[in-house]
Chains A and B, each alone.
Chain A
Amino acid sequence: MSEKKGKAGIKDLSPIDIYKLLPKTNCKECGVENCMAFATKLVNREITLEQCKPLLTKENENAYIQLKDMLKPAIKEVIVGVGDKAVKLGGKLVMYRHEFTYSNPTAIAIDVTDEMPESELLERIKKTENFRFEYIGYTLRLNMIAIRSISNEPEKFKATVKKVAENTTLPLILCSLNANVLEAGLMAAPGVNPLLYAATMDNWKDLAELALMYNCPLVISAPNDLSLLFSLTKTLTTYGVEDLVLDPGTFQNDGLADTLNNLTMLRRAACKNGEELAGFPLLGVPMVTWADKGETADEIVKWREAYLAGMLIVRYADVLIMHETDGWALLPNTVLRQNIYTDPRKPVAVEPGLKIFGTPDEESPVFFTTNFALTYYTVASDIENSKLSAYVVVVDTEGSAVDSGVAGRKLTADKVAEALKASGLENKVKHKTIIIPGKASRISGEIEEASGWKVQVGPRDSSEIPKYLIDKWQP
């Protein structure tokens, strides 16, 4: 491993080491109390180095460069596209999720081709742009368009790229092994900073020139050959191409083990061994399932593409190229991506107690739910979206959901009674009726007994609360 530099992993980086190089003026210009606190924030990636103004002066230049290098992520951050829809790929600090929050969620590109009828092309762009799912306060979206040249004709590709660029501001991936075709595409959409796919053993020189001439990020593809991938990466970085994305190949079935091994080895080499040639974003191509399609039914190919995408999201892919646009297949993957990229330190439970929605009065309904964060946010967003006024008592179930709480005795009638008492609702509502989650129906009798409140068993899923109130609620 010739490039080994022994870069400090995120865990080895201490605020003291950072502090030593800071100006130590405690000037508070960065908005933080003192330089030590600033150093801690830097290590936790809660602030950027450039917010320290004295550091940007000529006399501190050396310290700035040193600090910049110390704080450099193991995986280089590569930007594709321009404007507010530009995507950042990579930028990862760690290999395992528990070590530190993963940055820059896996970007998902949907493909179009230069042989598609225009109506289909526009339809796919529209579908990609309009994909949208609201999930516990986040909007899940697709991120890029990959344009493949099937024709291998520069003029045809040029016309297609032009058409795409006129109809979307999503970042583009231009896909062809022919440098002339790619250049035609680059000329059709100047200044949009697309990702070029891909430099290989055969065309690397031409692709390197293109990437330099048009100042674009470039994918290196070396199918299942990491030594070739390293050789190409070394060659191209020496050539002067800095923004690279690595594609070790995506294979289904017999090649699945190689696929995961390659991605895992590259990420480990970069994050654990400081191997700079592996320190670039990784690309996965779930749509390879369409290359072996044969007579297989479309739904089966989509199914395979979907679960392959999921495995790649978990095992370190920073960008994916997909063909299917069906919601049933993309939804689980966009949710998975959101899950994997959340802060692992986020608590699993919310604060128990009384929560008020809208402007409830003495006739408003009273619900209870658990303090498991996901349960609470789901119930809260259902009630908020329905614009209802209601009281919700959050019972401390030590972070258990309703069903597992009942099964594991974390959600008991006594706990509900206690929380209800502590809420003071007895004096706020006239009806003294509590609507309990359908999944807690087993303990409805016990709750009535322990609390003295009348119990109404509500729906099993909080999405049905609005309908339930119309049908069953009579204060």
Chain B
Amino acid sequence: MGTITFQNVSKIFRGQKDVRALDGVSLTVNEGEFVALLGPSGCGKSTLLNVLAGFEQVTEGDLLFDNAVVTRPGPDRGVVFQEAALFPWLTVWENVIFGPRVQGVPRSEYESRARELLKLVGLEAFADALPVQLSGGMRQRVGIARVLVMNPKALLMDEPFGALDAQTRLSMQQLLLDVWQSLGTTVLFVTHDIDEAILLSDRICVMSARPGRIVRTISVDMARPRSIASLTSPEFIGYKAEIMADIKVTNHH
């Protein structure tokens, strides 16, 4: 459950000049694995996430989710957007239960779970607030809760903490570590932040731009459960040095 397979996937955006956003990407993410896609902006890492989410179609190659071809978006792949993308006219509570509600799930089946999740992300006191009344970090926590309430097989996160200030980002990373530790959902996490990638993931796929390719894969074997305290461990510094050297090399090309 939650297995992701890219087989030689390419994505070309047609236009006056065709853009090859993904070029022959192969990647397998196993059940319960946390994989980060790391790269500069424009390297196609968001495109990779979007085709997996079903928002865009692949041009070449095969893309499978749990051994079925991905054709359209669905609640089995919960997406967390960079700017949260909450419905501004709905309250926090209504945003969180949007998924089960439009799927026609009876209220009794989602209500207690939604309450639990709201508590888990620390927003039970804000159930009746509108998104605009929340801070960026709080909004993102709603974005995570509304996806988790659907019990997705995989979480696709597109630079979810990229727009947050440094301190909020740390607490969000901790929250995500805790949530993932207890749920064990497959996660594909797009980021341009090296620290974030090392701290969170089991495996980091470093991507290069134009055409978008995975140039290197690094396994992060730091012990679990992790916390933001891991950010200062010698192990962590070692991984960081390795990746930074790697990115330098890629940039020279």
Same assembly: no
Point out residues on A near B: beta carbons under 8 Å: none
Point out residues on B near A: beta carbons under 8 Å: none
